[in-house]
Amino acid sequence: MGMTMTQKILAAHAGLDKVEAGELILVSLDRVLGNDITSPVAIREFNKLGYTEVYDKEKVTMVMDHFAPNKDIKAAIQCKMCRDFCAEKEVVHFYDVGQMGVEHALLPEKGLVVSGDVVIGADSHTCTYGALGAFSTGVGSSDMACGMATGKAWFKVPSAIKFVLTGTPRAHITGKDVILHIIGKIGVDGALYRSMEFTGEGAHALSVTDRLTICNMAIEAGAKNGIFEVDEKTLAYIAERSDRKPVVYTADEDAAYDEVIEIDLSAIKPTVAFPHLPENTHTTDEIDEIKIDQVVIGSCTNGYYENIKEAAELMRGRKVAKGVRAIIIPATQEIYLRAMREGLLEVFIQAGCAVSTPTCGPCLGGHMGILAPKERAVATTNRNFVGRMGDPTSEVYLASPAVAAASAILGRIASADEL
């Protein structure tokens, strides 16, 4: 029996010719990632283990993005611990205020991940980098500590679900609609500890941004990782950003899959996940009037330039509805600069939006957009659990940038077609 894409990457990094689902293996790491919330815990564990140096100064990365710019004294202390550690250990890829972005948008942009890599991060949405044909997954801070110290991690080899994507998405249908449709179909535990592997003509029709969004939310279906086949779009994206040579792995024809699911992208409609789970999905044509108080466009899921531009084009010449707070957060400084140069930030400000420096802020209920009791928000983020963005009685509706922008203008959940 052959191997899946994920299994081939793991086998290569374990120094094995072959691995099978369920097998426990020790894997060499190409990158270890942490942020300002998870890294301090890992640093304390690293010190407890008695290590004095990280395994590779180029391969350890810390990004100050969750509570940065510092929202309070505790956040400042957390960031200072990371700053001091990285300075002492001479960690090359430390990104602080002014240089940082939302971590999972920043690493691909900086060329720090290429096809064939194995990446762990002390953040559940580390699975984002599967869009580039890498194996990437979230781990706990203790695993991050061991990874920083040894450059190794233990894994149970996952089995896989194969998603065959066909067709081409309609206008204003993005990767966010695709992954919400899939999660609505299989549920939040539908891919539990399995690899979600995407292939087919439809997969190749998607932009790299769409693929990043889809893999980012693989964890919301319980997956160990998400991964796309590498194609010319992938290689062109990497070549623009990295001088490292990608290694391309393709699934064997006789690879074993638990399931094969076909998704026709042309049939997908604008999709919204209602509170309080990403699987609670409805298409916009099924939704009665739901008034909202806030819109957030940004995050590691949908803060890319492509997303910012789409939202701006829909808001151009229009105004945010009275009583709605619209917050725009480009995911990196590079995206912010490009949006500024092209006049997109002016479009947002003229529409009545607030534009923020890159931060995870509101996504996790950290800062820059906390909800009061019973308030409702449409967000391009990735989770809508109880209390995720503020008060436990508030509600978060997950949607694409197009739906979020239309909702901000109309003051209710709406699709771009209604503008």
CA distances to 67, 100, 359, 360, 391 from 72, in Å: 8, 18, 14, 15, 19
CA gap 240, 14 in Å, rounded? 29
| Domain 271-418 falls under CATH 3.30.1360.70 | no
For 238, residues 6+ apart whose C-beta sits below 8 A from its C-beta are 111, 114, 115, 132, 244, 246
Domain chopping of the chain, boundaries: 5-264, 271-418
Tell me how far apart the alpha carbons of residues 24 and 21 are, in angstroms, rounded to a whole number. 9
How confident is the model over 226-267, as pLDDT tens digits?
999 999 999 999 999 999 999 999 999 999 999 999 999 999
Q: What tokens does 101 get? A: 């972005």
CA distance 232 to 105: 20
Among candidate residues 31, 218, 47, 271, the one with its CA nearest the CA of residue 142: 47
In this prediction, residue 195 carries a pLDDT of: 97
Query: How far lies 269's CA from each of 81, 171, 307, 312, in Å?
Result: 45, 10, 17, 21
φ and ψ at residue 136, rounded to 5 degrees: -140, 140
- The CA-atom distances, in angstroms, between 401 and each of 53, 91, 272, 360, 415 are 42, 35, 11, 16, 10
Please write the tens of the pLDDT for every residue from 35-92: 999 999 999 999 999 999 999 999 999 999 999 999 999 999 999 999 999 999 999 9
Q: What pLDDT score does 167 carry?
A: 96
DSSP assignment letter at 94: E
Asked if the model's pLDDT at residue 192 lies above 90, the reply is: yes
Torsion sign (Cα): 338, 363, 61, 22: negative
Residue 14 has pLDDT above 90, yes or no: yes
Q: Which sign does the torsion angle of CA 296, 300, 301, 303 carry?
A: positive
Identical fold for domains 5-264 and 271-418, yes or no, is yes
Q: What pLDDT does residue 1 have?
A: 81
Q: Where are the alpha helices (DSSP H) in 95-207?
A: 103-109, 141-150, 175-186, 201-205
pLDDT in tens, 132-144: 999 999 999 999 9
Superfamily of domain 5-264: Aconitase, domain 3 (3.30.499.10)
Q: Give the pLDDT confidence score for residue 367 in this predicted structure.
A: 93
What average pLDDT does the chain have? 97
Mean pLDDT within 103-125 = 97
DSSP conformation letters of 34-51: EETTTHHHHHHHHHHTT-
Q: With bands split at pLDDT 50, 70 and 90, how would you rate the model's confidence at 7?
A: very high
pTM of the model: 0.95
Q: Please tell me the predicted confidence (pLDDT) of residue 279.
A: 96
* Six token digits for residue 272: 């919204």
Measured CA distances, 255 to 5, 192, 371 (Å): 9, 19, 46
Q: Rounded to whole angstroms, how far apart are CA atoms 177 and 398?
A: 10
Q: Which residues contact 410 (CB under 8 A, 6 or more apart)?
A: 321, 418, 419
Q: Cα–Cα distances in Å, from 89 out to 44, 65, 82?
A: 14, 20, 10
Q: Are strands 294-297 and 376-379 parallel, antiparallel or unpaired?
A: parallel
Helix axes 208-216, 232-239, angle to 10 degrees: 90
Residue appearing with tokens 């890319």: 304
d(CA 113, CA 126): 11
